Structure 1
């Protein structure tokens, strides 16, 4: 077991907070840590949509590279940011117990007056438009504080955030929790994962942080996501709780969608559902890629 584990993280306040949570758990198990900040291209390019800079996976790539180069022993991520395709030699050593998976609509004006909502997620945009086609959805990126400041300055009537991020940062905002039945979360939303080299001593040190029930639900979600494909640009919500799965793919404008609800016991069954959902939703996936100018 290594005497000190070097943990890599992005520079954002939320990323650092998540890393501090992992570091604290390791210290409680008698393992020292060193936190190392890794800059990512996605953090620099906050003025353009995510699909134009490589999607959520861009936040993970720099940390994967640092692990492979031996600069850090492991990295902490919001699990929903981890893409389906992973480099050789990188392993998800621990999946922490899930925090609230919900989307949260934050606002400071009367709910009935909301018309302009900020989000950078194609999924959230599509689900909002499915709920009400009259909404104006505007691109919104940046850290949590930046998003809140833009809402309070009047650039947006409301903003959509992951409730888990607010909880981890102890931020309390006026707003409403959105139900998972209508606003199906992104795969693995609300979950922190720790990835590392496939090195036995590091894996052994991280194993006590793993939460088996959360790992099983998130692996089911990832299996569906991997089979559906479409990248992080196709609006899709995939959420599993105690084996109860909701999975959907939407058109970018929220006007059409394909949806499946099943109880899933095994990863193989999850893959079968993902294959079926992809077949049903292939036109929506291809349409989203064409509209966004992706191959």
Structure 2
């Protein structure tokens, strides 16, 4: 049996795909890794919101699955939309790694600093923490963003800790930001192995039940905020409590709420956004 595993072609994405491949190996199964370029990979200059925001690193992989060009798509769970595309399902979430954001460069946040990030979620929380920051747009893969920090004289850049760890770049981290300081993106730190609906058995052996419970709650919460919401949102489940966040991109207002029901929490966050709009 040949199992074709699709992945973005970046160094991090291929490293993640290779980890997934190891979890899927079994007697009688031959695995072929298939690199696929996404919209987010092709356009490395515009902000994510201008090219589609969530899903810009996912759509082409999903299309390849539906067209039977691949059998499994490996995604960073944080890149996925809040609901699965019709005809597709997440067959496995391997055990989650560090979900936190990391500050590379300076180990603290102070007024007057220049910090690079392309994420509206990170920008909003940084500015709510310290309004005197200059938060500058920064796109590119991890290696590029680390290089640009030096070239542009930035004091720090914010990256996902798990990506740095997976590439053996943990030494670049000055501090890992506690979720109480910066709430992670829904699904951050987790991989999602997506398959065609009904073919979940292809990857079921790689599924971690606790990671699935937490990440699915986070995705549902963000989904319940609603597609019309333009404000940065985040959700993180620490195993006990689900926390949701909504904010203005300029950090002028930020609200955190906790709850046990992802859908109710998402609706509560959406109502907060409407009141402050």
**Any gaps of 5 or more consecutive residues in structure 1?**
288-295
Contact 1:102/1:178 (<8 A) preserved: yes
In structure 2, relative to structure 1, the CA distance for the partners of 1:276 and 1:232 (3 Å cut) is: closer
CA distance in 1, matches of 2:256, 2:274: 12
What's the RMSD between the two structures over aligned residues?
2.0
CA distance in 1, matches of 2:34, 2:66: 15
Contact 1:109/1:157 (<8 A) preserved: no
CA distance in 1, matches of 2:60, 2:194: 13
Structure richer in helix, relative to its length: 1
CA distance in 1, matches of 2:112, 2:211: 35
What is aligned with 2:38? 40
In structure 2, relative to structure 1, the CA distance for the partners of 1:36 and 1:260 (3 Å cut) is: same
What is aligned with 2:264? 272
Deviation at 1:87, TM superposition (A): 2.1
Contact 2:225/2:269 (<8 A) preserved: yes
Structure 1's consecutive aligned runs of 4 or more residues displaced over 3 angstroms after TM superposition are 28-31, 108-114, 230-233
- SS class of match (2:172): coil
Length-normalised TM-score, structure 1 = 0.88
* Matches for 1:27-66 after TM superposition, within 5 Å: 27=25, 31-66=29-64
What is aligned with 1:218? 215
CA distance in 2, matches of 1:270, 1:211: 20
- 1:205-239 CA-partner distances (Å, limit 9, x unpaired): 30010000110011111111111125795211210
In structure 2, relative to structure 1, the CA distance for the partners of 1:99 and 1:275 (3 Å cut) is: same
Pairing partner for 1:87 from 85, 88, 94: 85
- 1:179-214 CA-partner distances (Å, limit 9, x unpaired): 1012011111111000011243xx213001000011
**Any gaps of 5 or more consecutive residues in structure 2?**
none
Q: Does 1:256 align with 2:253?
A: yes
Length-normalised TM-score, structure 2 = 0.93
Contact 2:95/2:211 (<8 A) preserved: yes
Deviation at 1:124, TM superposition (A): 0.2
In structure 2, relative to structure 1, the CA distance for the partners of 1:76 and 1:124 (3 Å cut) is: same
